[in-house]
Amino acid sequence: MRLEKCWFCSSTVYPGHGIQFVRNDAKIFRFCRSKCHKNFKMKRNPRKVKWTKAYRRLHGKDMTQDSTFEFERKRNRPERYDRNLAENTLKAIKKIVKVRADRQSKHILNRMKGNKSAERKRDAKELEQSIHMVKAPGALQKDPSLTLVKVTRRSEENGMKE
């Protein structure tokens, strides 16, 4: 059973599924669903469409270079069936899937590393700008303790002085 890749989004196309388009120069394009086929007919570039694998790889959202991708490569050379080889291959596939998942999660963590502080700053700024939506303006004038107070971390201040 041969599993093909969609030309547009790089997802798997199973036998009997999807659409196949053959151009005049005999180049075959396989699509997993009509969404990919329609985008191809509209001459859209997969690297500019946000939900495609090409976009995600180009913009650093997915791993691009990893030794585990070598096993996914298409090989057209037939191999003689060997039971031991098939058994070892199936064991290796399980290990490779685990390694790839670990590396993928590590990649995501590295990508998201600096987001926490930036998100906190953005949230504090938004709250500061729209405090009037949280509390009524009259209440803020009557009780000044309801206003936001600037909070700085003492460890950062101590680190700056040293």
22-76 pLDDT tens trace: 999 999 999 999 999 999 999 999 999 999 988 988 887 876 677 666 666 667 7
Reported pTM = 0.50
Structure tokens at 69: 């991708």
CATH of domain 1-60: 2.30.170.20
CA 113, chain centre distance (Å): 15
Confidence band for 162, pLDDT divided at 50, 70 and 90: very low
Q: What per-residue confidence (pLDDT) applies to 155?
A: 54
Question: Which are the contacts of 61, defined by CB distance < 8 A and separation ≥ 6?
Answer: 55, 111
- Alpha-carbon gap, residue 43 to 21, rounded angstroms: 14
Helical ranges in the chain per DSSP H: 34-41, 53-58, 83-111, 115-129, 131-134, 137-142, 154-161
CA 121, chain centre distance (Å): 24
At 81-122, the pLDDT tens digits run 889 988 998 898 898 889 888 888 888 888 878 788 888 888
Least confident among 19-23, 52-56, 126-130: 126-130
DSSP, res 2: P
- DSSP3 helix / strand / coil % (the chain, rounded to 5): 50, 5, 40
- Alpha-carbon gap, residue 6 to 14, rounded angstroms: 10
Q: Is the pLDDT confidence value at 157 over 60?
A: no
DSSP, res 104: H
- Residue that wins the pLDDT comparison between 13 and 131: 13
- Amino acid type, 30: R
